[in-house]
Each structure stands twice: as structure tokens, then as C-alpha cells.
Amino acid sequence: MTVATAPVAPPEAARQAGDEILFQPIKLGRYNLRHRIVMAPLTRSRARQPGNVPTALNACYYAQRASAALIISEATQVSMQGQGYAWTPGIHSREQIEGWRLVTQAVHDAGGLIFLQLWHVGRISHPLLQPDNMLPVAPSAIKPSGEAFVTDENGEPAMVPFETPRALQIEEMPYLVRQYTRGARNAMSAGFDGVEVHGANGYLLDQFLESGTNRRSDAYGGTVENRARLLLEVVETVRDVWGSDRVGVRLSPLSTFNEMSDDNPEETFGYVAGRLSEYRLAYLHLVNPAIAAMEKGTAPEPRAIRMIDLIREKYRGVLMLAGGFDHDTAEAWVRQGKADLIAFGRKFLANPDLPERLRRRDPLNADDPSTYYGGGAKGYIDYPTLKGEQPAPCVDERWR
Ligand SMILES: Cc1cc2nc3c(=O)[nH]c(=O)nc-3n(C[C@H](O)[C@H](O)[C@H](O)COP(=O)(O)O)c2cc1C
């Protein structure tokens, strides 16, 4: 009789990582993702001036992070009117398409997948950023409090108070939709793998959607069907360009960022989630309504959890959540079925090799908020990988 020997147990961390749902593959539209850790969209305000053109420096930054299951690019304005912050990249000029090609090529060479986030800021802008110094546009003429990030006459960064935006005329709406059509086409020419419609964080599409910023009495205001009209028209035109399996949408229910509010968020976001479900998109992406509690390490607010459950019920497809996650909460939430994918923002910003670090449960670099926006390589491409190594070199004469 032979005595069975016990199999040698793998080290605890490796065994756990092997079992973890975060590291299980998943299908996202037409793509097969290797794991569930996504790089969230992050504005870094480092586009070349003049012209808001992506550069080889930007390509380096994204390529360093190509081990993400999917990279979602920083928010990218679909038109000059859609810009709301200094030095953000666009996707409306030939130079910008060429600049973005450097980025998509570098990410693909590094084995990654990248979607472009299509953006129009609406009222979160300033005449100094608008073509011919015109007023920013919005569903209704309601001024946000706070300040816009602009450049002064010397090209230096400055903060200036927001102004009251101009309410869009109904005749202009088809032209707004076409800004997204062009952006979607340009993103395809630039070599992206798909696009995410930015319907979150108090920008134009969210301003239409939520009742606090939409006082219109025409076909784009009032009922939830009307308030959701622009978002859905944009999703349809973008879907027509890309096919539904390469389009995602980002929403931020219950968020008050950029002074957003809604009289009945459950009705508004429940309706939108149900409508978006019909399009069979690649994914729906939510800014986690429980982010504040998660950051404090306290239990999520019951209303936030109910909102996620409601959207999960109405939206029958891949759901991505971003906001306040660490390794353990990400794993727990995906395991509990609250989400299928987790996007990381600040942790990916500071850790180019984030999936590997999470897999090994290694310590993470801390992010430096002073280098979030503007500047060059510092705080951008110099965050070290595991064991203090500099990330893969991506030196290119063009950005020296
Ligand atoms: C520097 C910075 C820039 C951001 N830029 C964008 C953006 O361009 N588009 C967007 O939808 N969200 C943006 N966000 C929000 C992030 O995508 C994410 O939802 C947020 O950081 C919460 O996730 P985290 O806790 O993992 O950082 C930004 C956040 C930060 C910190």
C-alpha cells in the first residue's frame, strides 16, 4: 500500500491570489480581459500647448500602466466648447488624433487595451477656455459656485470664478450630438479599442440628466425621459460608430461633485440604467456612491448600497465600480456580486504595476496630489514599480 503524500501547499499569498475573483478573466464586449482591475479615467493636464495635443510623454505614462485589464483614458474634450480645464487633451483636431496614436500604439505594444473617455464639460468651464471667449453652455443658466482652472495671459495656471453659463437652444442639440459623433470617429482613427461616454461627475450629460441643473421645459427637460434624452442620443451615435460592444458609459449617482443634485436619484438612475441595458454595451461604469464612507473606512451608507443594487437589477450587463477601493474591498465587492470589475484611480496613478502589486499584496506607493495636474515627468512617469525599480523606460526624444 502506498502512502499518499499531501500536496505541497503553495505559499499563502499565491494560493489566495489564484483563488481570487479579481484575478479571474472576464469578457467585456468583444474583448477578453485577463483580470478585473481597470485603470480609472484620470485627468492629468499634460497635453502639449498650443492645441491640447497628446505627446510621447503621455504615451509613456499610459504604456507603463498597460497591465491594467483595461485603461480608460483621461477625459478628452470632443470640441473646443467641451473644454473646462487648462491643458486637457482633445479629440477634435488632426494633431490630437496623431498625438493619441502615439498613446494607443505604445499601450498596444505593451500588451494593453485602451478606451478613450469622451467629454464635454458643459457649465464647468470659463470664457477663457472657450472659443472666442464665449460663455460656456449648459442645459440651464445656473452658475456653479467655485472656480475654473485656466491659464492667465502669461500661460500660468490660475483659478477664476465660474460664470453663469448660456442655456442651450433646442436647435443646437443635434450639433452637440455630432460633436460626440466626430469624437467617436476620431478616437477610432487614433487607434483606440473603444470609447467611454462620460456621463458622470457633473459635466454636460450629467447636467442634463439630473434635475438640480436642468430646468428646461422642452424635450430635453422635465421628465426623466426628457432629461436622459441627450445622454441616450449620444450613446446611440457613439454606438453607431463603434458597435455597442466597444462602448461603455460612466455615471455618478448620488454624487454631489460639481454641485450636482437630483430630486429623485433612484428614479433618474434606475431609469437610465434600464435604458442603457437595452443597448447591450460593453459595460456600465459607476463612480461608487459609497466612496466617502469607503475612504473613511466606515460602513457604506445604506442608500448608496441600495442604489448599486437598484442599478445592478436594472442593468443586465457588465458593471464596473470605481472609488475608494483597496485590494480587500475590491475582492469582497466583486465576490459579493456588487460589481464585475473595479477601476482604480489614485492607486493606479501612483502604481504603474498596480495589478501585480495587488496580486502579491505588496505595499503601494502613495500618490502625490501636488503633481496631479500640469507639469511634466515628475509625479507622472517616475512612480517606481515593485522593489523600487524605475518603471520600464520609455525615453523618447520628442518629449525631452
Ligand atoms: C487626479 C484625478 C483626475 C481625475 N480625472 C477624471 C476624469 O478625467 N474622468 C473621470 O470620469 N473621473 C476622473 N477622476 C475620478 C476617478 O476616475 C475616480 O473615480 C476617483 O479617483 C475615485 O477612485 P479612486 O478612489 O480609486 O481614486 C479623477 C480623479 C483624480 C484623483
pLDDT of residue 7: 43
Q: What does the pLDDT average to over 79-88?
A: 98
Q: What does the pLDDT average to over 346-363?
A: 97
CA 318 centroid distance within chain: 16
At 56, is the pLDDT very low, low, confident or very high (cuts 50, 70, 90)?
very high
pLDDT of residue 390: 67
74 Cβ closer than 6 Å to some ligand 1 atom = yes
| Residue 15: Cβ-neighbour burial (10 angstroms; 0-12, 13-18, 19+) | exposed
At 301, is the pLDDT very low, low, confident or very high (cuts 50, 70, 90)?
very high
Q: What does the pLDDT average to over 161-182?
A: 98
pLDDT of residue 134: 98
pLDDT of residue 318: 98
More confident residue, 234 or 398: 234
**pLDDT surpasses 60 at 399:** no
pLDDT of residue 391: 67
Catalytic, 61? Answer: no
**pLDDT surpasses 60 at 14:** no
pLDDT of residue 2: 40
Catalytic residue, from 62, 85, 180, 203: name it: 203
Q: What does the pLDDT average to over 194-221?
A: 98
pLDDT tens digit sequence for 92-116: 999 999 999 999 999 999 999 999 9
Helices (H), 193-278: 204-209, 224-227, 229-242, 265-278
pLDDT tens digit sequence for 247-299: 999 999 999 999 999 999 999 999 999 999 999 999 999 999 999 999 999 99
344 Cβ closer than 6 Å to some ligand 1 atom = yes
For CA atoms 228, 230, 235, 236, the dihedral sign is positive
pLDDT of residue 394: 67
**pLDDT surpasses 50 at 6:** no
Q: What does the pLDDT average to over 123-143?
A: 98
pLDDT of residue 112: 98
At 350, is the pLDDT very low, low, confident or very high (cuts 50, 70, 90)?
very high
Q: Which residue has the cell 487648462?
A: 86
* C-alpha span between 23 and 25 (Å, rounded): 6
Q: Whose CA is nearest to atom 11 of ligand 1?
A: 41
Atom of ligand 1 nearest to the CA of 344: 26
**pLDDT surpasses 50 at 396:** yes
Q: What does the pLDDT average to over 24-46?
A: 98
Q: Which residue has the cell 445622454?
A: 231
- What distance in angstroms lies between residue 358's CA and the mean position of ligand 1's atoms? 19
Atom of ligand 1 nearest to the CA of 200: 11
Share above pLDDT 90 across residues of the chain, in percent, rounded to a whole number: 91
Q: Whose CA is nearest to atom 30 of ligand 1?
A: 42
Return the amino acid letter for 50. P
CB-side exposure of 203: number of CA atoms within 13 Å?
24
At 3, is the pLDDT very low, low, confident or very high (cuts 50, 70, 90)?
very low
* C-alpha span between 236 and 229 (Å, rounded): 10
37 Cβ closer than 6 Å to some ligand 1 atom = no
- What distance in angstroms lies between residue 345's CA and the mean position of ligand 1's atoms? 5
269 Cβ closer than 6 Å to some ligand 1 atom = no
Q: With contact defined as beta carbons under 8 Å apart, do 215 and 262 qualify?
A: no
pLDDT of residue 10: 46
**pLDDT surpasses 90 at 15:** no
- What distance in angstroms lies between residue 171's CA and the mean position of ligand 1's atoms? 33
Predicted TM-score (pTM) of this structure: 0.95
Q: Which residues contact 3 (CB under 8 A, 6 or more apart)?
A: none
347 Cβ closer than 6 Å to some ligand 1 atom = yes
Q: Which residues contact 56 (CB under 8 A, 6 or more apart)?
A: 102, 106, 394, 396, 398, 399
Return mean pLDDT, the chain. 94
pLDDT of residue 349: 98
42 Cβ closer than 6 Å to some ligand 1 atom = yes
**pLDDT surpasses 60 at 1:** no
Q: Which residue has the cell 482613427?
A: 189
The secondary structure of the chain in percent helix, strand, coil, rounded to multiples of 5, reads 40, 15, 45
